[in-house]
Chains A and B, each alone.
Chain A
Amino acid sequence: MSSSLAIQRENIRKLFPDTFKQARKSRLRGQIIFFLVLVYLIVGFFTLDVVDIPKKWKPQNAAMFVLDTYAHKDHVTMKWENHEDIKIAFEGNYRSVYGRDNLDKSIPDWFYKNSDNVGNVVEFNNKGKAILYKDKVEIVNFPKYERGFTIKLNSNGKPYLVGSEDLVIENLKGFRITENRVEFRPTLYERIQVYPKKVEIHRYSIGWKYFWFDFSSPLEPYTFFEALGLTFSKERVVPEMSNLKLFLTEIKDNEAFMHGRVWWAMLETIVMAVLGTMFATVMALPLSFLAAYNVTPIKALRFTLRRLFDTLRGIDFLIWSLIFLRAFGPGPFTGIFAIGFTDTGTLGKLFSEAIENTEKKQQEGVQSTGASKFLQHRFGIIPQILPIFVSQSLYYLESNTRGAVIIGAMGAGGIGLQFLGALGTGNDFENVAYMAILVLAVVIFMDRLSAWLRRILIGSDQLIVR
């Protein structure tokens, strides 16, 4: 059976030798291309140091970064020389100290006197406790640890873990002991560090605390909805201003999340994208008519305009924004003109091609009624290119929103620069996450908005190219 099949195959091969040769040839070409791509990928792998990813990837840093984007921490600090003066500060910020100054901020309920009335207890979310004494720190009640630990200072003033010599290695999990520091970090959420001078405890909780109202705000004791309810009551929280005004200013002037500044920056970025696209569209439409051969008979003008479009597009918006940054300084104008100039080139090219591809009959129909050249273009060409015009402009509006974020980060201001700043501080990662989410939301919103506008204006949300 199989041998007869093979004979048949041979016969077919003999009947159509050219077809088979060609097939083998094209297959060979495909294999060669595949092989070349593979070789390039291997070369790229080494030239771009992709092999170094495991070496450069610091899981500790990444874990801290991720932890800080969704959690907040309170610092508890005790100096050995004055063990009664314990400072509890939100994120270790000297301006956000509990129970200090005239802020009337009560001590959080996870910090209390021990039952022996001597030590002070810091209770973690997992019920583990660190008890601070005059001369030692006791660590008790941690899940997965069968016994408690004691950390003391030796005669040289260096911290040590009491009885660490007779502990089994598994039980020592979570400890990192160096000459000047004993650190206990059973999970990412609890961290106890003992130094020769002080004890520092970081207590993590999940969530963005003080997202609406910051630490020192008079509205801080209330949740968002409680505060919203308060705006309807006549009793003023602070005598100086009405509750509604207080509510709004407190959100706007939030020191931790800086809503006012972030939203203003976001607005700047959106303005850059929208006005930049408008500028480009308004510039490109008349120019594209002048660059189309069925409208403009002068060849030199068309050629000049075509090269102008190429140049505008070729000088990427990166370089445009550098030039405009020198002229206008940081601010939306830089972004508007950088986007506008680049996209005048892109849209001009697209529109002029669209005009050249229009049906000639409609224009002739208008011409047959004795209409002037202007009216011929108005009623013969514009209705044909309008869908392309709208759909392309809206598409570029969406992609320019991303572009505006980038121009902002290169110095033009807006959310890009704010993002760069927050990342640069090295510890405000919740702000980094907040802004990233905001940018993502705005980009997706613009995407949906332009699809929606396309649908109601031209009846299809697909991008029309030609």
Chain B
Amino acid sequence: MTKALPANLEQIEVNLKKLTNQRTRSSLLGIAILILIFFGGTLVSLEANAGSFGRGIANFFNYPRDLFVDTFEMGWKYWPRVIKYIPELIITLNIALFSTSIGFILAIIFAIFSSRNLIRNKRVIQFTKFLMDVTRSFPTLIIAMVFLYLMGKSSLPAVIAITIHTAGALGKLFTEAIENCDGKPIEGLSSVGATWTQKIRFSVLPQVLPLFLSYGILRLEINVRESTILGFVGAGGIGEMLAALIQWNYGADVLACMFLLVGTIIALDYLSAYWRHKLIGANQ
């Protein structure tokens, strides 16, 4: 007995060492891969970049400085400029809000048809999931550019692109929410003979609606950024204005647009955090 114990311990020691070695090896391998990716990527970047890295670092502050200098030269006359661009900002916000709303509604439809606890037919679920995968994976910019080409310059391509992307992205989250919701209320309603739509209306929807709204608000915040970017390729709003101003080199006006944008985004950030906190509580 006394002799067997050290042997056992030895075995444990050997196993432990083996495990630690294995762990160290895989960690080292992971780090090596990361370093390899880093150097490979840097080489590609150096090869592909037009300007050199060093000069870029040196020039980094030039543009922001030019913008600020331009702004300071204007003095108090600057603030009317900022106000001048607010209508453009409203267009951008309108695009984002409208397409988020429509995308939200589409996403609910998608989610209902791709949730395992609501739909029995596997084909329907697979098809809807595939549809969501595709709509979610296309960058909005690509959809918007194609529609811009087909329909000419207007805000519509941005609305279409953001709606499509939102429907897919929210649809996936909504599906998870519906599939994770409590099955008992559904059973309860089934027991009193509720129809399929009644079950969704009175048992699923009350459970998931706060979560849906919270995701929707988060999406709205993302979509404001998206609609600005789409403006940059010609979909109107403050993005398009900013692109034009940069081209004309109107430093003060560029900074005014940037101020408006950053202010809006930060405000939305806090607002959405506050709303979501109210909707679903602190720790979710």
The answer to the question of B137 belonging to the interface, with a C-beta cut-off of 8 Å to chain A, is yes
Given contacts A310-B266, A331-B49, A332-B49, contact A44 B101 (CB under 8 A): yes
Residue A49 is within 8 A (CB to CB) of chain B in the complex = yes
- Kindly state the separation between the CA atoms of A323 and B251 in the bound complex, as whole angstroms: 12
Given contacts A49-B155, A57-B151, contact A275 B45 (CB under 8 A): yes
Given that A58-B150, A416-B141, A440-B137 are known contacts, is A268 also in contact with B44, CB under 8 Å in the complex?
Answer: yes
- A65 x B149 contact (CB < 8 A): yes
A52 an interface residue at 8 Å Cβ cutoff? yes
- Minimum CB distance partner of A56 in chain B: B151
Contact (A319, B261) CB under 8 Å given A327-B62, A406-B139 = yes
Which size bracket describes the interface of B in this complex? 35 or more
A466 touches B145 (CB 8 A): no
Q: Please tell me if A402 contacts chain B, counting CB pairs below 8 Å.
A: yes
Residues of A within 8 A of B125 (CB): none
Are the C-beta atoms of B225 and A318 separated by less than 8 Å? yes
- Cβ proximity bits B118-150 to A, threshold 8 Å, 1 near / 0 not: 000000000000000110011101100110011
CB-contact partner of B265 in A44, A314, A413, under 8 A: A314
> Which of A313, A315, A318, A410 lies at the interface centre, i.e. has the most chain B CB atoms within 10 A of its CB?
A318
Interface residues of B in 207-264 (CB under 8 A from A): 225, 228-229, 232-233, 239, 246, 258, 261-262
Task: Mark A216-246 against chain B: 1 for CB-CB distance below 8 A, else 0.
Answer: 0000000000000000000000000000000
Q: Mark A402-418, 1 if CB is under 8 A from B, else 0.
A: 10011001100100100
A416 to B22, CA, bound (A): 42
How distant is A290 from chain B, measured CB to nearest CB, in Å? 21
User: Which of A267, A416, A436 meets B138, CB within 8 Å?
Assistant: A436
Residue-wise interface mask of A (324-348) relative to B, using a CB-CB cutoff of 8 A (1 in contact, 0 not): 1011111111001000000000000
CB distance from B35 to the nearest CB of A (A): 10
Q: Does B51 contact A (CB under 8 A)?
A: yes
* B156, A53: Cβ atoms closer than 8 Å: yes
Known: A56-B156, A264-B48, A405-B141. A319 touches B262 (CB 8 A): yes
Nearest residue (CB) in A for B50 is A329
**Chain B residues positioned under 8 Å from A410 (CB to CB):** 229, 232-233
Q: Are B101 and A56 in contact (CB under 8 A)?
A: no
B281 to chain A, nearest CB (A): 12
Residues from chain A with a CB closer than 8 A to the CB of B233 are: 409-410, 420
Q: Is the CB of A315 within 8 A of B262?
A: yes
Q: Does A41 contact B (CB under 8 A)?
A: yes
B22-56 to A contact mask, C-beta < 8 Å, 1/0:
00000000000010011001101100111101001
The answer to whether the Cβ of A423 comes within 8 Å of any Cβ in the partner chain is yes
Report whether B94 and A47 are in contact in the complex, using a CB–CB cutoff of 8 Å: yes
Q: How far is the CA of A51 from the CA of B63 in the complex (A)?
A: 42
Q: Which of A130-155 contact B (CB under 8 A)?
A: none
The contact of A328 among B56, B137, B232, B283, by CB within 8 Å, is B56
A40 and B220 CA atoms in complex are apart in Å by 15
Interchain nearest-CB distance for A26 vs B (Å): 11
Pair A440/B134 contact, Cβ less than 8 Å: yes
Closest Cβ of chain A to B3, distance in Å, is: 32
A76 neighbours in B (Cβ, 8 Å): none
Q: How far is the CA of A225 from the CA of B121 in the complex (A)?
A: 41
Whether the pair A419, B154 counts as a contact (CB closer than 8 A) is no
* Contact residues in B for A62 (Cβ distance below 8 Å): 150
Of the candidates A37, A53, A333, the one whose C-beta lies within 8 Å of that of B56 is: A333
Q: Are A322 and B139 in contact (CB under 8 A)?
A: no
A370 to chain B, nearest CB (A): 22
Q: Are B146 and A40 in contact (CB under 8 A)?
A: no
How close is A372's CB to chain B, nearest CB, in angstroms? 22
Q: Which residue of the partner chain, among B38, B51, B154, contacts A329 with CB atoms under 8 Å?
A: B51
Give the distance in Å from the alpha carbon of A324 to the alpha carbon of B45 in the complex: 14
| Whole-angstrom CA separation of A271 from B49 in the bound complex | 12
What A residues does B94 contact at CB under 8 A?
44, 47-48
Q: Considering the chains assembled together, what is the distance between the CA atoms of A274 and B266 in angstroms? A: 26
Residues of A near B102 (CB, < 8 A) are 41
What residues of A have a CB within 8 angstroms of the CB of B265 in the complex? 314, 316
Contact A323 B64 (CB under 8 A): yes
| A274: contacting residue among B37, B225, B261, CB under 8 A | B37
Asked whether any CB of chain B lies closer than 8 Å to the CB of A28, the reply is no
Size category of the binding interface on chain A: 35 or more
Of the listed residues A37, A48, A53, A62, the one surrounded by the most CB atoms of chain B closer than 10 A to its CB is: A48
CA of A37 to CA of B100 in the docked complex: distance in angstroms?
Answer: 12
Q: Given the complex, which residues of B lie within 8 Å of A330, measured CB to CB?
A: 49-50
CB B56 to nearest CB in A, in angstroms, measures 4
Most buried by A among B37, B62, B149: B149
Determine the chain A residues whose CB is within 8 A of the CB of B155 once the complex forms.
48-49
Q: Does A439 contact B (CB under 8 A)?
A: yes
The interface residues of chain B lying within 8 Å CB-to-CB of A278 are 34, 37-38
- CB proximity of B274 to chain A, nearest CB, Å: 14
CB neighbours of B51 from chain A (8 A) = 327-329, 331
Which A residues touch B42, using CB under 8 A? 275
How far apart sit A310 and B145, CA to CA, in the bound complex (Å)?
31
Does the CB pair B258–A436 fall under 8 Å?
no
Q: Is the CB of B229 within 8 A of A406?
A: yes
Inter-chain contacts of B228 with A (CB < 8 A)? 316, 318
Chain A residues whose CB sits within 8 angstroms of the CB of B225 once the complex forms: 316, 318
Give Cα A77–Cα B279 distance, bound, in whole angstroms. 68
Residue B186 at the A interface, CB < 8 A? no
Which residues of the partner chain B approach A275 to less than 8 Å between Cβ atoms?
37-38, 41-42, 45
Chain A interfacial positions (CB closer than 8 Å to B): 37, 40-41, 44-45, 47-50, 52-53, 56-58, 61-62, 65, 264, 267-268, 271, 274-275, 278, 310-311, 313-316, 318-319, 322-324, 326-333, 336, 402, 405-406, 409-410, 413, 416, 419-420, 423, 432, 436, 439-440, 443-444, 447, 466
7 closest cross-chain pairs (CB), A and B: A331-B49, A329-B51, A328-B56, A44-B98, A329-B50, A332-B45, A326-B63
Q: In the complex, given contacts A423-B145, A423-B146, A443-B139, what are 10 additional A-B residue pairs having Cβ atoms less than 8 angstroms apart?
A: A56-B151, A275-B38, A314-B269, A315-B262, A328-B51, A333-B56, A336-B45, A419-B142, A440-B138, A444-B137
User: Which residues in B have some Cβ–Cβ distance to A below 8 Å?
Assistant: 34, 37-38, 41-42, 44-45, 48-51, 53, 56-57, 59-60, 62-64, 94-95, 97-98, 101-102, 133-134, 137-139, 141-142, 145-146, 149-152, 154-156, 159, 225, 228-229, 232-233, 239, 246, 258, 261-262, 265-266, 269, 283
Could you name 19 residue pairs across A and B whose Cβ atoms are closer than 8 Å?
A48-B98, A50-B159, A65-B150, A271-B44, A275-B42, A278-B34, A316-B225, A316-B262, A316-B265, A319-B262, A327-B51, A327-B57, A329-B50, A331-B48, A409-B233, A410-B229, A423-B146, A439-B138, A447-B137
